[in-house]
Amino acid sequence: MKKFIKHIVIFFLLVLVVFAFSGTFNYFQLKNTPSLGDTETLIVGDSRVMTAINPELIPNSKNIAQNSESYIISYYKLKFLLKNNTKVKKVILSFSYPSFSAYLDGIFKDDIATADVFGRIYPIMKPNDFGSLEIDKFKYYKVLFKQMFVYPHTNHYQYMGGFTRLKYGLDKADLEGVVQRHYFDKDSNNIGISSCASQYLDSIVELTKQNNIKLILVNIPFQKKYLEKVPSNFIEYYNLQKSRMLEKVVTVLDYGQIELPDTYFKDYNHLDLEGANYFTEMLKKDF
């Protein structure tokens, strides 16, 4: 019996040693800010810019956009990266109707993407950074424990994102599904406007000004059938924010209503690779 207890104690001591070593190693890894090299144009935001702006066609640019990236995430991402990357001169940020939807407030709690989002942002956002937003703290700390203590690793940069090449898929896309997710709750009631998107958009405006960076807000083209489904309150709120940004002397490039061939779309709100290359060349001429 004593021998068995001794083995159990040794086992738990070894586990604690592994946890301590991994935690210490990962703690110091988190302090490292990724180098953006000679990047002068940084592309940030949600999946719409992630799939629509090809950095290979824009000199000295880098696309770090990701799925389900709200303005609060973009703000903390930029705040962290700009500290030690002083060559950035322009930030291109996604700006569209779903950018201001309350559905983005809910991705930190009871959403299919919650654990995935926490797995990306734990190095740049702590629980108190979410302000009044509800978050699933159990999932957050579960992800944090796994990333920090289970094993040592150097890849704590999952928040960086990148340009994603998509194939045409409009013929199989679910229009009602994406509209439902963006603008309605599970009971099909209008989900309303985000409680904090406007606040963190303003924070990004101030952050870029402080760093002498030109902020460019870009609305990517939607497929026309999607536009017909956008609720009027989101269109009105978007136009209000657009006017506010122009008053703040922020560049707004609105391509949302531009009609592109259906062959340029992966689905109703994302461009495929052909569409991305076409759109990127269009964008280059305007900024």
Say if CB 279 and CB 271 are below 8 A apart: yes
Distance CA 251, CA 26 (A): 39
Q: How far is CA 6 from CA 3, 14, 15, 17, 66, in A?
A: 5, 12, 14, 16, 49
> Quick one: pLDDT at residue 142?
93
In which residue are the tokens 């083209």 written?
Answer: 221
> Quick one: pLDDT at residue 14?
66
Q: CB within 8 A of 190, min separation 6: which ones? A: 183, 184, 231, 233
Say if CB 134 and CB 229 are below 8 A apart: no
Say if CB 220 and CB 94 are below 8 A apart: yes
In which residue are the tokens 């703290």 written?
Answer: 137
The CA-CA-CA angle for residues 200, 46, 52, to 5°, reads 135
> Quick one: pLDDT at residue 274?
97
CATH class of 39-105+155-286: alpha beta
188-211 as b/e: b if 16+ CB within 10 A: eeebbbbebbbebbbbbbebbeeb
pLDDT band for position 102 (cuts 50, 70, 90): very high
> Quick one: pLDDT at residue 149?
87
Quick: pLDDT tens for 198-217.
999 999 999 999 999 999 99
Where is pLDDT greater, at 152 or 70?
70
Quick: pLDDT tens for 77-95.
999 999 989 899 999 999 9
Q: How far is CA 104 from CA 16, 112, 196, 269, in A?
A: 38, 12, 10, 16
Q: Which of 52, 49, 95, 104 is nearest to 239 (CA)?
A: 95
Domain boundaries defined on the chain:
39-105+155-286
Quick: pLDDT tens for 156-214.
999 999 999 999 999 999 999 999 999 999 999 999 999 999 999 999 999 999 999 99
Say if CB 30 and CB 122 are below 8 A apart: no
> Quick one: pLDDT at residue 185?
93
Q: What is the DSSP string of 234-260?
A: HHHHHHHHHHHHHHTT-EEEE-TT---
Q: Which of 262, 251, 266, 260 is nearest to 278 (CA)?
A: 260
Tokens, residue 263:
């062959």
Distance CA 181, CA 262 (A): 22
Q: What is the pTM of this model?
A: 0.93
